Amino acid sequence: MTEAIDARPLVGGPDLPQVRRLVTSIPGPRSVELFARRNAAVARGVSTTLPVFVTAAGGGVVVDVDGNSLIDLGSGIAVVSVGNAAPRVVAAVADQAAAFTHTCFMVTPYEGYVAVCEKLNSLTPGDFLKKSALFNSGAEAVENAVKIARAFTGRSAVVVFDHAYHGRTNLTMALTAKNMPYKHSFGPFAPEIYRMPMAYPFRWPTGAANCGPEAASLVIAEMTSQLGVDNIAAVLIEPIQGEGGFIVPGAGFLPALSEFCKANGIVFVADEIQTGFARTGAMFASSHEGVVPDLVTTAKGIAGGLPLSAVTGRADIMDAAHVGGLGGTYGGNPVACAAALGAIRTIEELDLVGRARHIESLMLPRLQEMAGKFACIGDVRGRGAMLAVEIVVPGGLEPDAATTVAVAKACHAAGVVVLTAGTYGNVLRFLPPLVIPDELLLEALDVLEEAFATVT
């Protein structure tokens, strides 16, 4: 064991050995020791999916303090799409940190912030004039998109959907659907938020084929009769719902909503915080159905792990907020901007959009095959490298969270990081770094299949 610990790498990135290697049980003794310290020092409300403490990560692996090397199918929740410690990100961060770490863009500006905005303006869907503003977290970007939409329209109502997740700040808790753990005991919440049914094909009462058009009619009728379109500032939606369970809306739902918004002066906001930056096999998931949002929120995959988020969209909408109305001390921090430019360049140079599609072509058939073998897999869905299986009591729709957790734990014990999701806690989701080697991905799928065979 000593040998394994001594051999553990101090430097991460793509040169780390791309292997699954377990030298202790998971978690190992050093992680267990650190977890005890963590429990004594860190507030209970901050949870842990897999209590191994990391020393290095890169490509498709995460290496822990005990010398174990785990296959990463989580990317730190869809963040390190370009891989952990990606060379261009590391170099850009080091250079920028050596030059200056902060001035506050609102005090004395710097080029990196402007360059990131220019990139966002050109990469997001739509060939109209666009502008951007930068923030720190996804939740902060969503809050600012709501502020901007309200300033532009002079209206206050915001429409969101069942199963939505938009963050944990006060306004974004109100926008988020699920009570436990995100909202429970934390109210009161912000007003003027209206929740509508989601086009959830697997659970649509009249069947998946009818889901998109029927859900759109329902939502449009409710917006018209219950809210009054003249009161609605924004419709806010994830083009594929993330924490809600990787729900790909029924075909036609997003285009119908976007058209309705256009016709009625409502700002259509796509929350691409989890789906953006190549994750779904397109630079932005709205493009799969040709939807051009008025505003797009981004974070996560934008900066290879550094905290950065943005609102990007139609210049006339973005400019509706008065001078000084948007911003924050750290928003668009120069080191995070340098990281974003490195990450975006990596996405383009390595064609990570194409890689995400390739990952789908490797994973989706295997997951479908597993659904044929294991009756608890009720649905296989997603796009690109954002894929999931929904676990139910065989033969119906009843969610089976216990089996979901058991399969996830079996994967963890075997050295594969997988995450769960879903309103009912019954979705296993897969978000590999887009640079993961094929062999490692296939090995992770073998482990997953073995976990299903053992647990069910």
Ligand X SMILES: Cc1ncc(COP(=O)(O)O)c(C=O)c1O
Choose the binding region for ligand X from 159-167, 224-232, 378-386, 428-436 (rule: CB under 6 A). Answer: 159-167
User: In the complex, what is the shortest distance from the CB of residue 141 to ligand X, in angstroms, rounded to a whole number?
Assistant: 7
Residue 423 is a binding residue for ligand X (CB under 6 A): no
For ligand X, which stretch binds (CB under 6 A), given 146-154, 268-276, 313-321, 419-427? 268-276
CA distance 332 to 338: 10
143 touching ligand X, by CB under 6 A: no
- Applying the rule CB under 6 A, the residues between 46 and 105 that interact with ligand X are 77
> What amino acid is encoded at 40 in this protein?
A
For ligand X, the closer CB: 162 or 400: 162
Figure out which of the listed residues 72, 143, 214, 238 binds ligand X, where binding follows CB under 6 A: 238
Whole-angstrom distance, CA of residue 150 vs CA of residue 374: 48
Q: Is 165 in the site for ligand X (CB under 6 A)?
A: yes
* Among 72, 162, 214, 271, contact with ligand X (rule: CB under 6 A): 271
**Is residue 142 involved in binding ligand X (CB under 6 A)?**
yes
275-304 mask for ligand X (x: CB under 6 A)? ------------------------x-----
Residue 85 vs 299, nearer CB to ligand X:
299
**CA 117 from centroid of its chain's CA atoms:** 20
| Site membership for ligand X, residue 359 (CB under 6 A) | no
Give whole-number Cα distances, 388 to 192, 248, 272, 367, in Å: 32, 10, 18, 8
CB of 34 to ligand X, least distance (A): 24
Q: Report d(CA 416, CA 20) in Å as an integer.
A: 8
Cα–chain center distance at 164:
12
The one-character DSSP state at 248 is P
- Tokens 């959009």 — which residue? 353
Stretch that binds ligand X, among 86-94, 115-123, 131-139, 282-290 (CB under 6 A): 131-139
- Tell me how far, at minimum, the Cβ of 307 lies from ligand X, in Å: 8
**Number of chain positions touching ligand X (CB under 6 A):** 15
Q: How many other C-beta atoms can be found within 10 angstroms of the C-beta atom of residue 57? A: 26
- Closest-CB residue for ligand X? 138
Cis bond leading into 181, ω under 30°?
A: yes
- Can you say how many angstroms the Cα of residue 299 is from the centroid of all Cα atoms in its chain? 8
Cβ proximity to ligand X: between 158 and 445 the closer is: 158
Among 167, 212, 239, 305, binds ligand X (CB under 6 A): 167
274 phi and psi, to 5 degrees?
A: -95, -30
185, two tokens: 């005991």
d(CA 392, CA 51): 27
* CA separation for the pair 223, 15 (Å, rounded): 52
Shortest separation between residue 412's beta carbon and ligand X, angstroms = 20
Q: Is residue 243 a contact residue for ligand X (CB under 6 A)?
A: yes
**Nearest-angstrom CA–CA distance, 347 and 441:** 19
**What DSSP character marks residue 185?**
T
Under rule CB under 6 A, residue 420 binds ligand X: no
Q: What are phi and psi of 43, to 5 degrees?
A: -60, 145
Q: Between 236 and 359, whose beta carbon lies closer to ligand X? A: 236
Which one, of 322, 343, 287, 104, lies nearest residue 296 by Cα?
A: 287
Looking from the CA of 15 toward its CB, the CA atoms found within 13 Å total: 5
Of 137-145, 252-260, 339-347, 428-436, the window that binds ligand X (rule: CB under 6 A) is: 137-145
**Contact criterion met (CB below 8 Å) for 134 and 308:** yes
Nearest Cα neighbor of 390 from 415, 417, 424, 343 is: 424
Shortest distance (Å) from residue 127 CB to ligand X: 25
CB of 78 to ligand X, least distance (A): 7
Q: Return the residue of 18, 24, 258, 274 that touches ligand X, per CB under 6 A.
A: 274
Q: Compute the least distance from the CB of residue 45 to ligand X, in Å.
A: 14
Closest to ligand X by CB, 285 or 441: 285
Interface with ligand X (CB under 6 A):
77, 137-139, 142, 165-167, 238, 242-243, 271, 273-274, 299
